[in-house]
Structure 1
């Protein structure tokens, strides 16, 4: 198996097979990130395709000494921000109509009782909806640190802000989620600290 650095260098040189392999390796995690950011599965698939298309068009700009995953995630984050801005403008024009309602996350199969599964699904749905309504400057650091498990330093680098800014924004995002969820503070427990 080829090392990630060698694969990245080949992709940066325009090797389609290497780029395809990098796509295969990053697609699942990147889709989860985009899905959580936009709150809609179909929009997430569209944005994922846009991300990889933009990455391929700009592959010569990629510095193979840096991790490919961080580079592609930055592109995806920019695509999500663009999507959010366009969505905001559409909502303004149409009088505040929410065009993309969040879908409930699927509950994994298991031996849990149906009532427990329904309650868990409802809590996750409320959490997803609350997260999708966070402002982009708070949503991105929360998703990258709490959900994706990235360090504050890595998140700061991806977002182009200081580590302290990431820390502050994550804390604000948690407070906004807590306020939005109100009595359902158990839904917030699904977001890792």
Structure 2
């Protein structure tokens, strides 16, 4: 693992090139977590920017004996949770239809599956979704997730399992899993 202490020191001294390098190193992971949690590109960009603002304001609080990435991702997750709580309190202007028939070719099935998974994940309980994303997208161990989310190891395992179960159930309810399997079989027969 790269030692970030020098880079952090330079950032705290106001070195703009160090700040740019710091953001460059972590922007993809932060944006992906934010996108998975809030489900909308522009909101995810806003959450990522706010995450970095909070990180730079609090660099002096980072425990240098621990890896910096989980610390940053915790800030991102907390920011997204706050945003989602505020968003959920806003009244919904109109009802939207979740499922729109797709009349495009089989070539886009992978992309459609990714969109369906994202939609299904947006309905999964927040704690379950965060644990699931940290495990599958960021490949953190259950122990690392427990530390980052400040909860027991068994709870993390339960949350990841429940997120998987809910995700599969939602995809099955929407007929996505059968559709995707059929498109994969059709491709392999070609």
- Whether 2:5 is the aligned partner of 1:6: answer yes
From the superposition, tell whether residues 68 and 134 of structure 1 become closer, same or farther in structure 2 (CA, over 3 Å): same
In structure 2, the CA distance between the partners of 1:124 and 1:65, relative to structure 1 (3 Å rule), is same
Q: TM-score, normalised by structure 2?
A: 0.79
Aligned-pair distance for 1:184? 2.3
SS at 2:105 equivalent: helix
Match of 1:177 in 2: 167
Question: Which of 87, 100, 117 is the aligned partner of 1:127?
Answer: 117
User: For this pair of structures, how many residues does the alignment match?
Assistant: 170
Pick closer, same or farther for the CA change 1:174–1:4 going to 2, 3 Å: same
8 Å CA contact retained: 2:146, 2:156: yes
5 Å-filtered alignment, 1:1-193, equals 3-11=2-10, 13-16=12-15, 17-90=17-90, 93-94=91-92, 115-182=105-172, 183-185=175-177
Can you give the 5+ residue segments of structure 2 that lack an aligned partner in the other structure?
99-103, 182-190
RMSD value over aligned CA atoms? 2.4
**Aligned partner of residue 4 in structure 1, secondary structure:** coil
> When the two structures are superposed, what TM-score results if normalisation uses the length of structure 1?
0.78
| Counterparts of 1:128 and 1:24, CA distance in 2 | 25
Any gaps of 5 or more consecutive residues in structure 1? Answer: 102-113, 189-193
Structure 1 runs (4+) deviating above 4 angstroms are 95-98
SS at match of 1:150: coil
